[in-house]
Amino acid sequence: MQLTSPSRRALGLAAAGVLSLSTLVIGLPGTATAETLEIIAFDADETGSVEVPLTGYCAVDWWVVGGSGGAGQEDGAAVPGTAGGEIRGTSAVTGGEIFSFSAGTVGADADVDGGGAGGTNAEEPDLDGGAGGTVHDADDLAVGGGGGGGAASVVTGPEGFSLIAYGGDGGGDHGGLGAGEGANVVDADLTDLVDGAYDAVGFHGRIEGQILPCAPEEEVVLTAPLAPTGLSAVDGDGRVTVRFDPTWSEDENGTDADAWEYSLDGVHYEPADVAWDEAYRKEAFTLIGLTNGTTYSIRVRGVSDLAGHGTPSEPVTSRPFVAPGAPGGVTVTPGTASVRVGWSAASSAGTYGIHHYAVDLIMSGGEMGDRSTVCEVPAGAPLTCLVGLRTEAGYTYRIVVSAVDGVGHSGADSAVVPVGTPSAPSVPATVPTSNGDLTRPAGQSGSVAAGSAVEISGSGYLPGSTVSLIVYSTPQVVGSAVADENGRFTATVTLPAGLTSGAHTLVASGVDPSGNPRYLTLPVTVTGGTATAATTGGLAYTGASVALPALGGLAALALGGALVVAGRRTRA
């Protein structure tokens, strides 16, 4: 406990005499259970040394005061000296440190016989106070003098530790200087430091040391690892590979996992042999010896060497299985903007039985080159399907078939079969019989100027198939489109600038989901075309040969939409 200034002052008031060197030996193992000790005090009334063996002490609370200056005599009146220096504060200590102490005395008062003697420091004579001078009358007789200067009080310790509280100056014009000449020396790290002069005069120097117990250490509670995230499970035959993302703690008391554990029941955990999977940028481990056809709910948690088990992850479901066998006998028959695919049943049904067959199209060229599922045929249905294809130059296709079981596992692939070149939609010599109407955007039902663009939409086509766009009476191919997953398309075509003014017909030629020809038509009135024209069958002549639709390059440069196939999903 640090003493307050009044209690220290009370101790100082009782001090008198001269102190020889004393020694305090402090042994500090560093526990926090020691009791507060009595104050160890040294002043001008004491001599000798003190050895204090301590257990669990970490600091010393210091109070060091230098001796005051003595009073002087001037014209028969006493002139008080100045107060000694004062140092208060607390320093840290470690076991086995030794501190030495020597307190200074007050300077002597002057009297009619002359100045007072300076105060003394028994161990540090160079810190004694100066003697006061003598005052003489005209007959050179002593009639008084200045008070003696006070001696400094000193504490020294290891590694240059030093506290020197200066002595006060003697009173009167002839007073002696106090030791240290008014400047305390604090060569130590002290907290709550007070460095100045004591608030009273006439007192001997004094040194007090209060040995303080170590402060209790703040208990630090470490938090266990956080739950990992992003779990995924890849099932196999009696096995599963689990991947996950660790969650790193941002709390200064948080801990990260030093190891990992997994659980199949949410209660019992076993060590997981985790390694970094560079391909997926995740941590991963594989479990073997699992039972095919059994559903497992897998959780993962981290383990810290310091804080124990962490929070478990959310579960990920695993169903080990034997996959279905590969289908056989895959055949492909190219048709108009399509291919007919057939195959034979898979060699084995696997753990969960066959739910359906997936026909995948591998397309190369253009802006795509991936594998996507374009047809799903339920088990027990005829093993065939019609797949829509683009007919523009630069595209090649391959077909592969696999069986998919009742929980979504894909079985082994069939042989990969190349597809021959599909034929483009037909371009009849005259306007064909319509299967329905093409449409224009709302509010756009008027005539169209020759050489200008017109937007048209149609539906009912084989998803993924090319649709040729033709203007009549003499047919000209003015563009193409690709039916989306719903069999629809929207395209913008530019009417030839050489069309004659008058009535014409736009035709969208393709195939329906069964592979049958499908024609949608739209009558359109052209303005601003050529003034005269031959007629064929009563319709205005459009100025182009029927052979022109065979120019595949023109069709490839037209407005074909992006390939989006019905039910197509990219396979992992």
Gap between the Cα atoms of 84 and 106, Å rounded? 9
| Domains, the chain | 5-213 (no CATH), 229-318 (2.60.40.10), 328-419 (2.60.40.10), 436-557 (2.60.40.10)
Exposed/middle/buried for 45, CB within 10 Å: 0-12, 13-18, 19+? middle
Give residue-wise pLDDT tens across range 194-205. Answer: 999 998 888 899
Listed residue (357, 364, 361) closest to 412, CA to CA: 357
The pTM for the full model equals 0.53
For 529, the 3-state DSSP assignment is: coil
Gap between the Cα atoms of 431 and 509, Å rounded? 11
Reported as half-sphere exposure (CB side, CA atoms, 13 A), residue 268 has a value of 2
CB 316 within 8 A of CB 233: yes
Question: Tokens 């004579």 sit at which residue?
Answer: 125
pLDDT in tens, the chain (572 residues): 333 333 343 333 333 333 333 444 544 444 444 555 666 676 665 555 555 456 677 888 999 999 999 999 888 889 999 999 999 999 988 877 888 889 999 999 999 889 999 999 988 899 999 999 998 887 888 888 999 999 999 999 888 999 999 999 999 989 889 897 789 999 999 999 999 999 888 889 999 888 788 877 777 889 999 999 999 999 999 999 999 999 999 888 899 999 999 999 999 999 999 999 999 999 999 999 999 999 999 999 999 999 999 999 999 999 999 999 999 999 999 999 999 999 999 999 999 999 999 999 998 864 445 789 999 999 999 999 999 999 988 888 999 999 999 988 899 999 999 998 899 999 999 999 999 999 999 988 889 999 999 999 999 999 999 999 999 988 999 999 999 999 999 999 999 998 999 999 999 999 999 999 999 999 999 999 886 444 433 334 343 333 333 333 333 323 333 333 333 333 43
CB 525 within 8 A of CB 447: yes
* Residue 125 φ then ψ, to 5°: -60, -25
Query: How many helices and strands (H and E) does the chain possess?
Result: 2, 42
Exposed/middle/buried for 451, CB within 10 Å: 0-12, 13-18, 19+? middle
Q: Which residues pair with 168 in a beta bridge?
A: none
Listed residue (341, 532, 560) closest to 469, CA to CA: 560
Query: Per the structure block, which two tokens stand in for 5?
Result: 């200034």
Gap between the Cα atoms of 284 and 300, Å rounded? 11
DSSP assignment of 457-468: EE--PPTT-EEE
